[in-house]
With several copies, the nearest count.
Chain A
Amino acid sequence: MPLDERYALDEFLITTMARQFSGEVMVSSVTAFGALSALLAKARYAPDLAVLATPESGMEVTPMPTLSLGQFLTDAQRGIPLTMEEIFDAIFTDRFRIWINPAQIDRHGNTNISVIGDWHQPKVAMVGSRGIPEDTSHLSQIFYYVLTHSRRTVVEQVDFRSGAGTGPDRDATLGEHGAPSVLVTDLGVFDFTGPDGTMAVRSLHPGVTLEEVQEKSGFEIHAPSSIPVTEPPTEEDVQIIRDADPLEVRKLELLSGPEAAERFVSIYERERQALHAAWPRLGKLG
C-alpha cells in the first residue's frame, strides 16, 4: 500500500477495523490496534460499545494502548470490574467482540496461534489456543487482522486450527455460530463469502492490486469482478487515534529488531506518566 501523507498505515488499518463494529456489545482487546479501533469506533461509528480496559475487565473505559498498564486503567477511570466468568458469559451470549491477530489464517478462515508444524513435533511452539475456540464457536462476528499479508500468514491450510473456520466440520457441529466474518490485512479487507465459505476480497486498500494480493497469499482468493477501494480514514479519525496514543504504542506492532526494542523501552519508561497525565488517579485507593 503506498504511503499517503494524511495518514500512516497503522492509522488506515485501525480506522478500517473500527468501522466493523456495531451495536451494544463488550469490546475487548489484547493489542494496541484492537484498543485503538475500539476507542475510535466508540467515538465515531458505534457509540453503544461497552469498551474494556483489558482483555478481561474494566468496562466503560477509554482504552489506552499500553505495555504494562491495562488493569491500571480500570482503577484510574473507575471502570466497571468484571470477572472472567462474565467475559465468557458475554461471549456465549454473543455480547462480545474482539480483534484477533492470528499467526496464520487459511482459505476457510481457520486460524492458528498455537504451533508452526505438527502440534506433537512443533517447529515453533507458540502460545496455545487461549480463548479463540470459544470465540469461534459462539460469536456472530469474528474479526481477524494480519499486519503482514504474506504466504506465511495467509495460507492454504493452517498448521493447527485454534479458531474454527467455515466448512464441513463447522457445518456439522456449530452452524453459523462463531464463523469468521472479516479479515483486515495491510492489503485489503476480506470476508468468507466465496464458494463454500472461502475467503473473498471485499475491498483492497488504495493502490493495492488483486495481483499483489494473490501473489502474497498461499491460495487464490475469490474476488468479485469489480473490487471496491477501502475507504481511507478521515482527518477526524486520524486525529482521534493520534490523540489517544501519544506514545505511539501502535507503531510497535509494525516494527521489529533494534528499532522496536529501543522504542519499546522508551514507551515502557514513559507510560506511567502518560497515564497520570490523562487520568489523574481517581480509583478506590486514591
Chain B
Amino acid sequence: MTVDQVVADIPNGSTVAIGGSSLSRKPMALIRALARSSVKDLRLIVDVGGPDVDLLIGTGSVSEVIYAFVGFEVLGLAPHFRRARQQQALRFEEWTEYTVMAGLDATIKRVPFLPTHAGLATDVLSVNTSFRRFKDPFHGEELVAVPALKPDVALIHVNYADAKGNGVILGDGHVDVLCAKAARRTYMSCERIISSDELQRYGRDVQILRVHTTGVVELPWGAHPTGCAPDYRADLRHLQDYLRYSANDDAWRAYADQYIYTDQSRYLERQGGVEALLARLKV
C-alpha cells in the first residue's frame, strides 16, 4: 500500500498508537505524511515519545497525548511538547512505561484493566485520573487499575516485512508488538519488503505477525531522523537542526515547508541524498 492510502484510513479524532522509542525506530515517514494531511484532533498514545509526538504537536494535528515520556534524550527536551504542556494548549495524560504497556495489553486480552503496584506513592496517580485505586478481590491489597488503551490505529516502522504483513525487527523491539496487537488497524512501514521465504529465515526476529497488520509500505529511511538499528543510527545533526527550527513560528514554518510538506524521496534529497545519509549514519 502507499503512504497516502495509510493516511486516508486515519480520520480526524483517531486514537493513534506509535511504536519505537524516543530516537529509535519511530515511523517518521508515516508521521510526516500524517502531519501534512489535514487530519486533526489526533489522540496519541506513546510509551516513550520523541520527534514523532513533537512534530505532530508542531503541525497542530494533536488534541491529546497519553505518554510515559516525551523527549529528545541526549539532546534535551521536546520543544513543541514542552511548549504545549506549559501553555496548556492540549490535553495531556501522564502514564508510566509499564502502565502504557499494560493498558495496551489489557485491550489485547479484552479485559477492562490490568492491576499493578506501579504508580502507588507517586503523583502520577494524582494527575492521571484515568487510573483507579482499588482493592484486590482476594486480600484487599491496594492496587492501581490501569484501564485498557484502545488505539484505532497503530503506526510502526520495522527493518523488513513481507508483502503479507509479517515484520522483522532486528534491534530493540520497544512496544511495537503491543501496539500492533492492540490497535484495530496496524500500518507498518519498513526499510525493505522481502519475500516471505527470505523473511522466514529471521526466526524469532519476525516479531510482527500479519494477522495483526492491515497494510505495509516500503519506505527506506522511514525512521529518519530517528535511528533504525542495525541499519542506521539516529541523525543527531538533523535533530539539532530540528530543535533550532523549533525555536519560533517562522523557523518552524521553514522546517515544515522543507521537510514535512514534501514526499519521502524529496525529503531524502534534502538530507543530501541517500549516499550522504549512508556516509553519515550507516553503522
> Interface of A with B (CB < 8 Å)?
24-26, 30, 50, 54, 56-60, 67-69, 71-72, 74-75, 77-86, 88-93, 95, 114-115, 119-134, 136-138, 160-165, 167, 169-170, 172-174, 177, 252, 264-265, 268, 272, 275, 283-285
Contacts and interface: CB of A to CB of B under 8 A. Distances in A.
Interface stretch (B112-120, B246-254, B258-266): B112-120
B68 A129 contact: yes
A71 B171 contact: yes
B172 A268 contact: no
Majority SS at the chain B contact face: mixed
Contact of A131 (B68, B209, B229): B68
Interface of B: 21, 23-24, 47-48, 67-71, 73-74, 77-78, 81-82, 85-86, 88, 94-99, 101, 108-110, 116-124, 126-127, 142, 166, 170-175, 177, 181, 196-197, 200-201, 203-206, 209-212, 227, 229-230, 233-234, 236-237, 283
B200 A125 contact: no
23 contacts: A56-B174, A68-B23, A68-B236, A72-B230, A75-B229, A78-B203, A84-B47, A84-B97, A84-B174, A88-B109, A93-B212, A95-B211, A120-B127, A124-B82, A126-B77, A128-B69, A129-B68, A133-B96, A133-B99, A134-B96, A134-B116, A163-B122, A285-B170
B229 A72 contact: yes
A59 B172 contact: no
Nearest to A56: B172
B283 A272 contact: yes
B9 to A, nearest CB: 17
A43 B196 CA distance: 17
B96 A130 contact: yes
B96 A26 contact: no
Given A84-B173, A125-B82, A173 B120 contact: yes
A94 to B, nearest CB: 9
Nearest to A25: B211
A177 B170 contact: no
A124 B95 CA distance: 18
B122 A133 contact: yes
Contact of A119 (B127, B197, B206): B127
B48 A130 contact: yes
A201 to B, nearest CB: 24
B58 to A, nearest CB: 15
B200 A85 contact: no
A84 B237 contact: no
Nearest to B177: A83
B119 A133 contact: yes
B110 A92 contact: yes
Given A60-B166, A132-B96, A137-B118, A81 B204 contact: yes
A122 B85 contact: yes
A50 B68 CA distance: 26
B212 A162 contact: no
Contacts of A50: 209-211
Most B-side CB within 10 Å, residue of A26, A83, A86, A130:
A130
A77 B197 CA distance: 10
A69 B283 contact: yes
Contacts of A264: 74, 236
Nearest to A78: B200
B121 A90 contact: no
